[in-house]
Structure 1
Protein backbone atom coordinates (compact mmCIF):
# COMPACT_ATOMS: atom_id res chain seq x y z
CA UNK A 1 0.00 0.00 0.00
CA UNK A 2 1.32 3.45 -0.93
CA UNK A 3 1.98 5.88 1.87
CA UNK A 4 0.16 9.18 1.87
CA UNK A 5 2.23 12.29 1.43
CA UNK A 6 -0.01 15.32 2.08
CA UNK A 7 2.72 17.83 1.16
CA UNK A 8 3.33 16.12 -2.19
CA UNK A 9 -0.41 15.94 -2.89
CA UNK A 10 -0.84 19.62 -2.08
CA UNK A 11 2.11 20.54 -4.33
CA UNK A 12 0.71 18.42 -7.21
CA UNK A 13 -2.66 20.11 -6.78
CA UNK A 14 -1.04 23.55 -6.85
CA UNK A 15 1.02 22.71 -9.95
CA UNK A 16 -2.09 21.39 -11.71
CA UNK A 17 -4.11 24.41 -10.56
CA UNK A 18 -1.50 26.83 -11.92
CA UNK A 19 -1.63 25.07 -15.30
CA UNK A 20 -5.44 24.95 -15.41
CA UNK A 21 -6.10 28.46 -14.10
CA UNK A 22 -3.44 30.00 -16.36
CA UNK A 23 -5.08 28.30 -19.34
CA UNK A 24 -8.74 28.96 -18.53
CA UNK A 25 -8.93 31.57 -15.78
CA UNK A 26 -10.88 31.23 -12.57
CA UNK A 27 -14.27 30.98 -14.27
CA UNK A 28 -13.23 28.56 -17.01
CA UNK A 29 -11.07 26.23 -14.93
CA UNK A 30 -12.53 22.92 -13.80
CA UNK A 31 -11.65 21.25 -10.50
CA UNK A 32 -12.19 17.85 -12.17
CA UNK A 33 -9.35 18.59 -14.60
CA UNK A 34 -7.13 19.87 -11.77
CA UNK A 35 -7.72 16.73 -9.70
CA UNK A 36 -7.11 14.48 -12.71
CA UNK A 37 -3.88 16.30 -13.67
CA UNK A 38 -2.67 16.11 -10.07
CA UNK A 39 -3.57 12.43 -9.85
CA UNK A 40 -5.56 13.25 -6.75
CA UNK A 41 -9.08 12.82 -5.56
CA UNK A 42 -11.32 15.81 -6.27
CA UNK A 43 -12.22 15.79 -2.57
CA UNK A 44 -8.56 16.60 -1.78
CA UNK A 45 -9.02 20.03 -3.38
CA UNK A 46 -11.78 20.85 -0.92
CA UNK A 47 -9.90 19.30 2.00
CA UNK A 48 -6.69 21.26 1.31
CA UNK A 49 -8.10 24.52 -0.04
CA UNK A 50 -11.78 24.81 0.82
CA UNK A 51 -13.19 25.76 -2.57
CA UNK A 52 -12.25 26.66 -6.13
CA UNK A 53 -11.76 30.36 -5.35
CA UNK A 54 -9.43 29.57 -2.45
CA UNK A 55 -7.51 27.17 -4.70
CA UNK A 56 -7.18 29.93 -7.30
CA UNK A 57 -5.76 32.33 -4.71
CA UNK A 58 -3.44 29.62 -3.35
CA UNK A 59 -2.20 28.92 -6.90
CA UNK A 60 -1.54 32.64 -7.43
CA UNK A 61 0.34 32.89 -4.11
CA UNK A 62 2.28 29.71 -4.96
CA UNK A 63 3.35 31.26 -8.29
CA UNK A 64 4.40 34.50 -6.61
CA UNK A 65 6.48 32.50 -4.12
CA UNK A 66 8.14 30.65 -7.01
CA UNK A 67 9.05 33.96 -8.65
CA UNK A 68 10.38 35.43 -5.40
CA UNK A 69 12.49 32.30 -4.82
CA UNK A 70 13.79 32.05 -8.39
CA UNK A 71 14.48 35.74 -8.98
CA UNK A 72 16.07 37.40 -5.97
CA UNK A 73 15.59 41.15 -5.89
CA UNK A 74 18.83 43.01 -6.53
CA UNK A 75 18.25 46.72 -5.87
CA UNK A 76 21.80 47.59 -6.94
CA UNK A 77 21.18 45.98 -10.34
CA UNK A 78 17.63 46.79 -11.39
CA UNK A 79 18.28 46.16 -15.10
CA UNK A 80 19.71 42.72 -14.28
CA UNK A 81 16.80 42.00 -11.95
CA UNK A 82 14.23 42.85 -14.64
CA UNK A 83 16.24 40.78 -17.13
CA UNK A 84 16.02 37.78 -14.80
CA UNK A 85 12.28 38.37 -14.36
CA UNK A 86 12.02 38.34 -18.17
CA UNK A 87 13.90 35.04 -18.23
CA UNK A 88 11.55 33.57 -15.62
CA UNK A 89 8.39 34.69 -17.40
CA UNK A 90 9.73 33.53 -20.77
CA UNK A 91 10.47 30.08 -19.31
CA UNK A 92 7.23 30.00 -17.28
CA UNK A 93 4.59 31.92 -19.24
CA UNK A 94 1.88 30.37 -17.08
CA UNK A 95 3.04 32.59 -14.22
CA UNK A 96 2.10 35.80 -15.97
CA UNK A 97 -1.02 34.32 -17.55
CA UNK A 98 -2.26 33.35 -14.08
CA UNK A 99 -1.44 36.82 -12.73
CA UNK A 100 -3.30 38.39 -15.65
CA UNK A 101 -6.39 36.22 -15.07
CA UNK A 102 -6.25 37.18 -11.38
CA UNK A 103 -6.20 40.85 -12.28
CA UNK A 104 -8.99 40.52 -14.84
CA UNK A 105 -11.29 38.39 -12.71
CA UNK A 106 -10.74 39.94 -9.32
CA UNK A 107 -13.32 42.23 -7.84
CA UNK A 108 -11.45 45.33 -6.61
CA UNK A 109 -13.40 45.02 -3.35
CA UNK A 110 -11.81 41.60 -2.67
CA UNK A 111 -9.15 41.45 -0.03
CA UNK A 112 -5.64 41.78 -1.37
CA UNK A 113 -2.93 39.18 -1.09
CA UNK A 114 0.26 39.56 0.91
CA UNK A 115 1.46 43.13 0.38
CA UNK A 116 4.69 42.78 2.35
CA UNK A 117 6.98 41.72 -0.53
CA UNK A 118 5.69 44.64 -2.58
CA UNK A 119 6.10 47.11 0.28
CA UNK A 120 9.70 45.97 0.74
CA UNK A 121 10.28 46.30 -3.01
CA UNK A 122 8.93 49.86 -3.06
CA UNK A 123 10.83 50.79 0.13
CA UNK A 124 14.11 49.58 -1.35
CA UNK A 125 13.44 51.51 -4.55
CA UNK A 126 12.76 54.61 -2.43
CA UNK A 127 16.01 54.19 -0.51
CA UNK A 128 18.26 54.04 -3.57
CA UNK A 129 20.78 56.88 -3.55
CA UNK A 130 20.47 57.32 -7.30
CA UNK A 131 16.66 57.35 -7.28
CA UNK A 132 15.12 59.96 -9.54
CA UNK A 133 12.89 62.14 -7.32
CA UNK A 134 10.59 62.77 -10.31
CA UNK A 135 9.68 59.05 -10.41
CA UNK A 136 7.80 57.89 -7.30
CA UNK A 137 9.12 54.50 -6.17
CA UNK A 138 5.71 52.79 -6.29
CA UNK A 139 5.26 53.93 -9.90
CA UNK A 140 8.76 52.72 -10.77
CA UNK A 141 7.88 49.34 -9.22
CA UNK A 142 4.82 49.08 -11.48
CA UNK A 143 6.88 49.92 -14.57
CA UNK A 144 9.67 47.46 -13.73
CA UNK A 145 7.30 44.60 -12.93
CA UNK A 146 5.20 45.30 -16.04
CA UNK A 147 8.14 45.44 -18.44
CA UNK A 148 9.55 41.99 -17.60
CA UNK A 149 6.63 39.94 -18.96
CA UNK A 150 5.76 42.34 -21.79
CA UNK A 151 6.77 39.89 -24.52
CA UNK A 152 4.85 37.01 -22.95
CA UNK A 153 1.74 39.21 -23.06
CA UNK A 154 2.49 40.80 -26.43
CA UNK A 155 0.31 40.43 -29.49
CA UNK A 156 1.26 37.10 -31.10
CA UNK A 157 1.09 38.52 -34.61
CA UNK A 158 3.59 41.26 -33.79
CA UNK A 159 5.89 38.70 -32.21
CA UNK A 160 5.60 36.46 -35.28
CA UNK A 161 6.63 39.36 -37.50
CA UNK A 162 9.46 40.33 -35.13
CA UNK A 163 10.70 36.74 -34.81
CA UNK A 164 10.33 34.12 -32.13
CA UNK A 165 13.54 32.12 -32.34
CA UNK A 166 16.12 32.03 -29.55
CA UNK A 167 18.15 34.84 -31.11
CA UNK A 168 15.14 37.18 -31.04
CA UNK A 169 14.27 36.18 -27.47
CA UNK A 170 17.84 37.00 -26.39
CA UNK A 171 17.76 40.30 -28.30
CA UNK A 172 14.51 41.26 -26.56
CA UNK A 173 16.15 40.65 -23.22
CA UNK A 174 19.01 42.95 -24.21
CA UNK A 175 16.53 45.65 -25.25
CA UNK A 176 14.66 45.27 -21.97
CA UNK A 177 17.83 45.58 -19.89
CA UNK A 178 18.86 48.66 -21.88
CA UNK A 179 15.44 50.29 -21.43
CA UNK A 180 15.51 49.67 -17.68
CA UNK A 181 19.07 51.00 -17.51
CA UNK A 182 17.90 54.22 -19.13
CA UNK A 183 14.91 54.46 -16.79
CA UNK A 184 16.91 54.08 -13.59
CA UNK A 185 20.12 55.91 -14.49
CA UNK A 186 20.63 59.10 -12.52
CA UNK A 187 20.23 62.25 -14.54
Structure 2
Protein backbone atom coordinates (compact mmCIF):
# COMPACT_ATOMS: atom_id res chain seq x y z
CA UNK A 1 0.00 0.00 0.00
CA UNK A 2 1.39 3.40 -0.86
CA UNK A 3 1.67 6.58 1.13
CA UNK A 4 -0.43 8.45 -1.45
CA UNK A 5 -3.51 6.46 -0.41
CA UNK A 6 -3.18 7.90 3.08
CA UNK A 7 -2.64 11.41 1.73
CA UNK A 8 -6.11 11.14 0.17
CA UNK A 9 -7.49 10.57 3.68
CA UNK A 10 -5.75 13.65 5.09
CA UNK A 11 -8.01 15.76 7.30
CA UNK A 12 -6.27 19.03 8.29
CA UNK A 13 -8.94 19.75 10.90
CA UNK A 14 -8.03 16.63 12.87
CA UNK A 15 -4.34 15.69 12.55
CA UNK A 16 -3.48 12.58 14.55
CA UNK A 17 -0.42 10.50 15.29
CA UNK A 18 -0.43 7.09 16.88
CA UNK A 19 2.01 6.35 19.69
CA UNK A 20 4.62 5.01 17.23
CA UNK A 21 4.80 8.34 15.42
CA UNK A 22 4.86 10.33 18.65
CA UNK A 23 7.75 8.33 20.04
CA UNK A 24 9.91 8.19 16.93
CA UNK A 25 9.47 11.32 14.85
CA UNK A 26 9.94 15.00 15.64
CA UNK A 27 6.80 17.10 15.61
CA UNK A 28 6.30 18.53 12.12
CA UNK A 29 6.28 22.24 11.46
CA UNK A 30 2.93 23.71 10.41
CA UNK A 31 4.08 23.83 6.80
CA UNK A 32 4.61 20.05 6.71
CA UNK A 33 2.09 17.39 5.84
CA UNK A 34 0.62 15.28 8.63
CA UNK A 35 -0.61 11.82 7.67
CA UNK A 36 -3.43 9.87 9.23
CA UNK A 37 -2.17 6.74 10.98
CA UNK A 38 -2.11 3.67 8.79
CA UNK A 39 -3.05 0.15 9.75
CA UNK A 40 -0.47 -1.26 12.19
CA UNK A 41 1.48 -3.31 9.67
CA UNK A 42 2.11 -0.24 7.47
CA UNK A 43 3.26 2.16 10.20
CA UNK A 44 6.95 1.51 9.59
CA UNK A 45 6.68 2.34 5.89
CA UNK A 46 4.60 5.45 6.50
CA UNK A 47 7.12 6.61 9.10
CA UNK A 48 10.03 6.06 6.70
CA UNK A 49 8.20 8.05 4.06
CA UNK A 50 7.36 10.82 6.52
CA UNK A 51 10.96 11.11 7.71
CA UNK A 52 12.21 11.50 4.17
CA UNK A 53 9.35 13.82 3.15
CA UNK A 54 10.03 16.08 6.12
CA UNK A 55 13.65 16.43 5.09
CA UNK A 56 14.89 15.15 8.44
CA UNK A 57 18.59 15.55 7.66
CA UNK A 58 19.63 15.61 11.33
CA UNK A 59 18.62 11.98 11.81
CA UNK A 60 21.79 9.89 11.73
CA UNK A 61 21.84 6.55 9.95
CA UNK A 62 22.70 3.77 12.37
CA UNK A 63 23.18 0.02 12.34
CA UNK A 64 22.34 -1.85 15.53
CA UNK A 65 24.33 -4.98 16.43
CA UNK A 66 23.02 -7.12 19.30
CA UNK A 67 25.29 -9.70 20.96
CA UNK A 68 24.57 -12.46 23.47
CA UNK A 69 26.06 -11.77 26.93
CA UNK A 70 26.37 -15.50 27.72
CA UNK A 71 28.68 -15.95 24.70
CA UNK A 72 30.68 -12.83 25.55
CA UNK A 73 31.38 -14.35 28.96
CA UNK A 74 32.28 -17.83 27.68
CA UNK A 75 33.78 -17.51 24.16
CA UNK A 76 37.13 -15.95 23.18
CA UNK A 77 36.69 -12.22 22.53
CA UNK A 78 37.88 -12.51 18.92
CA UNK A 79 35.24 -15.13 18.16
CA UNK A 80 32.49 -12.96 19.62
CA UNK A 81 33.63 -9.91 17.63
CA UNK A 82 33.73 -12.04 14.49
CA UNK A 83 30.09 -13.04 15.02
CA UNK A 84 29.08 -9.37 15.16
CA UNK A 85 31.09 -8.65 12.01
CA UNK A 86 29.40 -11.54 10.18
CA UNK A 87 25.92 -10.28 11.09
CA UNK A 88 26.75 -6.65 10.26
CA UNK A 89 28.18 -7.43 6.83
CA UNK A 90 25.36 -9.87 6.04
CA UNK A 91 22.67 -7.30 6.95
CA UNK A 92 24.31 -4.68 4.73
CA UNK A 93 24.84 -7.11 1.85
CA UNK A 94 21.27 -8.44 1.98
CA UNK A 95 20.02 -4.84 1.73
CA UNK A 96 22.71 -3.48 -0.59
CA UNK A 97 20.21 -1.80 -2.93
CA UNK A 98 18.18 -0.18 -0.14
CA UNK A 99 18.24 3.63 -0.10
CA UNK A 100 19.51 3.89 3.49
CA UNK A 101 22.14 1.21 2.97
CA UNK A 102 23.58 2.86 -0.13
CA UNK A 103 23.69 6.18 1.70
CA UNK A 104 25.27 4.56 4.79
CA UNK A 105 27.97 2.89 2.66
CA UNK A 106 28.46 5.87 0.35
CA UNK A 107 31.88 7.43 -0.12
CA UNK A 108 30.87 10.57 1.79
CA UNK A 109 29.75 8.51 4.82
CA UNK A 110 32.43 5.80 5.07
CA UNK A 111 34.35 7.67 7.76
CA UNK A 112 31.18 8.61 9.67
CA UNK A 113 29.35 5.28 10.05
CA UNK A 114 27.40 4.82 13.27
CA UNK A 115 26.89 1.45 14.92
CA UNK A 116 25.39 0.76 18.32
CA UNK A 117 26.38 -2.54 19.92
CA UNK A 118 23.96 -3.84 22.53
CA UNK A 119 23.55 -7.08 24.43
CA UNK A 120 20.87 -9.55 25.45
CA UNK A 121 21.20 -12.23 28.13
CA UNK A 122 21.02 -15.29 25.91
CA UNK A 123 19.63 -17.16 22.93
CA UNK A 124 15.95 -16.87 23.87
CA UNK A 125 16.11 -13.07 24.15
CA UNK A 126 17.98 -12.80 20.84
CA UNK A 127 15.46 -14.96 18.99
CA UNK A 128 12.55 -13.04 20.59
CA UNK A 129 14.08 -9.73 19.46
CA UNK A 130 14.47 -11.10 15.94
CA UNK A 131 10.78 -12.10 15.88
CA UNK A 132 9.76 -8.67 17.16
CA UNK A 133 11.80 -7.00 14.40
CA UNK A 134 10.31 -9.32 11.76
CA UNK A 135 6.83 -8.44 12.96
CA UNK A 136 7.61 -4.75 12.57
CA UNK A 137 9.23 -5.35 9.17
CA UNK A 138 12.61 -4.06 10.37
CA UNK A 139 15.31 -5.45 8.08
CA UNK A 140 17.92 -7.43 9.99
CA UNK A 141 20.06 -10.55 9.92
CA UNK A 142 19.98 -13.08 12.74
CA UNK A 143 23.43 -14.68 12.48
CA UNK A 144 23.38 -18.42 13.10
CA UNK A 145 26.87 -19.87 13.45
CA UNK A 146 27.45 -23.03 11.47
CA UNK A 147 27.96 -25.95 11.75
CA UNK A 148 26.85 -25.60 15.39
CA UNK A 149 23.53 -23.99 14.35
CA UNK A 150 23.75 -21.47 17.23
CA UNK A 151 22.10 -18.01 16.97
CA UNK A 152 24.93 -15.73 18.11
CA UNK A 153 23.91 -12.16 17.28
CA UNK A 154 21.84 -9.97 15.00
CA UNK A 155 22.37 -6.78 13.07
CA UNK A 156 19.88 -4.42 11.47
CA UNK A 157 20.30 -2.86 8.09
CA UNK A 158 21.11 0.86 8.38
CA UNK A 159 18.10 3.01 9.36
CA UNK A 160 17.52 6.54 10.59
CA UNK A 161 17.99 6.27 14.33
CA UNK A 162 14.55 7.66 15.21
CA UNK A 163 12.86 4.85 13.29
CA UNK A 164 14.55 1.91 15.02
CA UNK A 165 15.76 3.18 18.40
CA UNK A 166 12.44 2.36 20.13
CA UNK A 167 12.99 -1.35 19.44
CA UNK A 168 16.30 -1.30 21.32
CA UNK A 169 15.66 1.17 24.14
CA UNK A 170 15.43 -1.53 26.84
CA UNK A 171 18.73 -3.19 25.92
CA UNK A 172 22.07 -2.45 27.57
CA UNK A 173 25.16 -1.26 25.78
CA UNK A 174 27.55 -4.12 25.22
CA UNK A 175 30.57 -3.70 27.51
Per the normalisation by structure 2, the TM-score is 0.27
Question: Higher relative contact order at CA 8 Å, sep ≥6: structure 1 or structure 2?
Answer: 2
The structure that is helix-richer by fraction is 1
Judging by fraction of residues, say which structure has more strand.
2
